[in-house]
Chains A and B, each alone.
Chain A
Amino acid sequence: MIQAVNNFTFIVRDSEQHESNGLIIPQQGVEKPHTGKIFSVGELVSDKKIEAGKLAIFHKGNGFTIEYGGEEYLIIEGERIIGIDDWSEQ
C-alpha cells in the first residue's frame, strides 16, 4: 500500500457528477469535487484529526494528481486541508 511521507496526504477524490436535472454535462464542463477520502497521511502532518478513511475538504487548485495502478490520487499538503468530516463525533 502507498504510504504518504513528510507533510503530504494522499486523497482519493470523490467521483464527479456528470448529470444535473437530467442533463448530461460534458467532461470538460464538470467541476471536480473538493472532497475526497483520505487514503494515507504523512508522518509530518501536524493535525492528528487528519486520518486515513476520513472525508477531507479542500480548496480547488490545491495539490497535484498522480495516476498509478489504475487509481488517481490527489496529493495535497496536510495544512491545505480545510475540513474533516468526522463521523465518529456525530
Chain B
Amino acid sequence: MIGANNKILVEVDLDQKDTITIGGITLSTAGKFDTNYREKSPTVAKVIKGNDTVHSSDILLCHHNLFYMPSPYHVEGNLFSIPFSNILFAKIDAEGNITPICDNLICSRIIIPTDLPLPPEHQKTYDKVYNVEIGNEKYFKDDIVFTRPSAGYDIVYVVNGQEKRITKVDSTHICGVLRK
C-alpha cells in the first residue's frame, strides 16, 4: 500500500500523551513555559511509506491535531495516511538532530535585553520575533524573523538525558525578516 494524493503512510502510538519515546528520543510538552506560549503536544510518527523527502523508518514530528479517532486519515490499527504538508514539522535522527521539513523552520526565542541581572526564569522574550536556528532555502541561520501571532510552536525533547528546547515556525506565517 502507498499513500495517494501526496499522502504518506505513518505508524503512530495512539497512547502517547505528554511523553513519547521512540528510538531513544523522548518528547514531552512544554509544560515549563509561560501560559501565554502554546503548550501543545507534538506527536511522533514513524514513516512506513514515504516520498522523496521522508523515507521508511524516518521519525517525524507532527502537529498534535493529526492523530485522533475517528480520523479521516486512519487506515487500520496504528496506520495513518497523512498529507505531506506543513503540518509535518521535522525529521528526527537517531542522535536527536532535527531537520525541518515542509516549509517549517527551527527557531529560538530572543530574550529582551535588560540592565537588570535577572535569573533565567524571569527573563522575558520578544513576542512574534524569533531567531532562526535551522533554516531553509529562503530563511537562513541567524536571521531574525517576525511572524503572525501564535506562529511559534514550542517543543521540548530529551535525547540521551539532555533536554533540548526548540520553537517551530511555519515560514508561511513570516511577515518580516532582519538579516545581519
- The answer to whether B178 touches A64, judged by C-beta atoms less than 8 angstroms apart, is no
Which one of A3-11, A18-26, A30-38, A47-55 is at the interface? A3-11
Which residues in chain B, 128-153, are within 8 Å of chain A measured between CB atoms?
A: 128-129, 144, 146, 148-149
User: CB distance A67 to B175 under 8 Å?
Assistant: no
CB distance from B137 to the nearest CB of A (A): 14
Residues of chain B within 8 A (CB-CB) of A1 are: 178
Q: Are B178 and A66 in contact (CB under 8 A)?
A: no
Number of A-B pairs, beta carbon distance below 8 Å: 47
CB distance from B152 to the nearest CB of A (A): 13
A2 contacts which of B127, B148, B172, B177 (Cβ < 8 Å)? B177
Task: For the complex, give the distance between the alpha carbons of A73 and B144 in Å.
Answer: 15
Q: In the bound complex, do residue A66 and residue B174 qualify as a contact, i.e. CB atoms below 8 Å apart? A: no
Query: A66 to chain B: which residues have CB within 8 Å?
Result: 126-129, 146, 176
Quick check: B126 and A67 within 8 Å, CB to CB? yes
Across the interface, which residues of A come within 8 angstroms of B179, CB to CB? 3
What 1/0 flags go to B6-27 for Cβ under 8 Å of A?
0000000000000000000000
Q: How large is the interface on A (under 10, 10 to 19, 20 to 34, 35 or more residues)?
A: 10 to 19
Q: Contact at B128–A6, with CB atoms within 8 Å? A: no
Which residue in A5, A6, A68 is a CB contact (below 8 Å) of B129?
A: A68
A5 touches B127 (CB 8 A): no
Q: DSSP majority for the B interface? A: strand
By the criterion CB–CB under 8 Å, are A6 and B178 in contact? no
B126 touches A6 (CB 8 A): no
Name the B residues within 8 Å of A73 (CB-CB): 146, 176
* B148 and A3 within 8 A (CB): no
Residues of A within 8 A of B127 (CB): 66-67
B176 x A5 contact (CB < 8 A): yes
Q: Is the Cβ of A8 less than 8 Å from the Cβ of B176? A: yes
Given A66-B127, A66-B128, A68-B126, decide whether A75 and B178 contact each other with a Cβ distance below 8 A: no
Assess the A6–B146 pair: CB atoms within 8 A. Answer: no
By a CB distance below 8 angstroms, the chain A residues around B126 are 66-68
| Beta-carbon contact of A64 and B149 below 8 Å | yes
Contact B176 A40 (CB under 8 A): yes
Contact string against B for A residues 59-70, beta-carbon threshold 8 Å, 1 for contact and 0 otherwise: 000001011100
A40–B177 Cα gap in the complex (Å)?
11
Pair B176/A64 contact, Cβ less than 8 Å? no
Question: A3–B178 contact, CB under 8 A?
Answer: yes
Residues of chain A within 8 A of B146, CB atoms compared: 2, 66, 68, 73, 75
Interface positions of B (Cβ within 8 A of A):
126-129, 144, 146, 148-149, 172, 174-179
